[in-house]
Amino acid sequence: MFNFKIVAESKTTRARAGILQTAHGEVETPIFMPVGTLGTVKSLSPEELKICGAQIILGNTYHLYLRPGCDVIQCFDGLHGFMHWDGPILTDSGGFQVFSLARLRKVTDEGVLFQSHIDGSSHMLTPETSIEIQACLGSDMVMCFDQCIKYPACRRDTRDALDLTTRWAKRSKDAFESDKNALFGIVQGGMYKDLREISAHDLMKIGFDGYAIGGLSVGEPKDLMLEMADFTLPILPDEKPKYIMGVGTPEDIVAMTALGADMFDCVMPTRNARNGQIFTATGTINICNARFKNDIEPIDPECTCYTCRHYSKAYLRHLYLSKELLAYRLNTIHNVHYYMDLARRLRKAVCDGRFEEFRGKFSKSYIV
C-alpha cells in the first residue's frame, strides 16, 4: 500500500518532488509535517490544519503512550479516530523523547527503562513495544526505535549509540507487521561522517520503506548540520523518501530540500506562534512589538491564510498582550500556513524546473 514516487527532479541540485502514497491518502513532497504531540496540533482543529495546507501530521509515541495511553486510543481504532484527523500520520518512535524528557533512564540492549515526566511512574520502551504502540496508534509511517545521542558526543559513545540503533532497527523491522503502513529506519552517527555512513549502510542492509536522519538540530552549529545532511542524504537510496527529523527553520528546509530531503517536521511554526514569533516572506517578526500598536495591516497582505485575510497586526498584538487564547490560534494558523506554503512552493519550483531561481529569490528576501 505504501509507495513513494518521484515526479520531478532539479537538474542542478538534488532537490526532488514526489508523492507518498499512504493508507490515508497521498502526500506531495517536499513536505513539512506539523507536530501534533498529544493528538492535537496545538490550538488548531483538523479542519484548520487542512485549510492551512497540512497533508500529514506527526504524533509523538512517548507522549501518547503516557497520556492518554494505548488503552484509550485503542477504543477509537487509533489516533485518526481519536483526534478526528483522517489524513496520514507519522509517529516517531519515542526514542528522542525518552532521552530528552524522561527521567532516570537506564539504557540496556533490551531497551530503555525510564520514569514518566508526568508522574514519575516507571516504564520500559523497547523496539518491540515502540512498534506495538505505533501500531495501536494506527500510524501510517512508523519509525524504528533509536538512540539519539546528545551533542557534543565523543566518537566511542556515538559509535555505541549507532550500533545499538542498528540492532534496535533490526528488531523494529522484525516486530513490524503491517502490510499497508511504512517503516522508516533512522540514521544516527552524530557528527562523524564515517559513522553516519556505517549507520546508513547498516539500515539499508536491513531494508526500510523510507530513511530518516536523526540526531541533527540537537545544538550543533548550522554549518555542521548541513554538512552532515549533505554527506548522508546521497548515501540513502534515491527511490525511497528521505526525512530530516526535527528540522527546522524555513532556511534550513530550503537548504535541506536542495540536498535531497523530502520530509521535515519541527515544532517551530507552532511553538514560536505561541511565543509571538511570526514567519513572513522577509523573515520573522515579534507580534508584541510596539510598532504594531496601531497597525491596521495584516501580517502579510499577500498571504491567503485565515489570519491574514481577517485580522490586523494591531489586533493580533492586542490578543497576544492580553494572553487571549485566540492569539495562539491565529498566530499558529499563519505560521503553519507559512510552512506549508513554503513546502508547496519548493515543490512547484522543482516541478517547474526553476528550483535554483526560487532558492536564490528566497535567500535574498528572507532575512535570517
Is 295 considered catalytic here?
A: no
Nearer to a second copy, 267 or 326 (CB): 326
Is 252 considered catalytic here?
A: no
Contact between 326 and a second copy per CB under 8 A: yes
Contact between 310 and a second copy per CB under 8 A: yes
How long a stretch of residues is the chain? Answer: 368
Contact between 179 and a second copy per CB under 8 A: no
Query: Residues 305, 269: contact at Cβ < 8 Å?
Result: no
Which range binds a second copy by CB under 8 A, 77-85, 190-198, 200-208, 341-349?
Answer: 77-85
Three-point CA angle 46, 51, 55, nearest 5° = 70
Contact between 329 and a second copy per CB under 8 A: yes
The closest alpha carbon to 259, from 45, 15, 60, 10, belongs to: 15
Q: Which of 62, 315, 362, 366 binds a second copy (CB under 8 A)?
A: 315
Contact between 71 and a second copy per CB under 8 A: yes
Task: Please name the amino acid found at residue 81.
Answer: G
Which parts of 214-305 are beta strand (E)? 242-244, 263-265, 277-280, 283-286
**Residue 145: helix, strand or coil by DSSP?**
coil
The closest alpha carbon to 92, from 214, 248, 239, belongs to: 214
The closest alpha carbon to 338, from 266, 261, 230, belongs to: 266
Q: Which of 154, 321, 367, 368 binds a second copy (CB under 8 A)?
A: 321
d(CA 24, CA 208): 20
Q: Which of 140, 252, 265, 341 is catalytic?
A: 265
Nearer to a second copy, 308 or 346 (CB): 308
Q: Which of 5, 67, 201, 205 binds a second copy (CB under 8 A)?
A: 67
Contact positions vs a second copy (CB under 8 A): 38-40, 42-45, 67-68, 71-72, 75-76, 82-84, 293-294, 296, 306, 310-312, 314-315, 317-319, 321-322, 324-326, 328-329
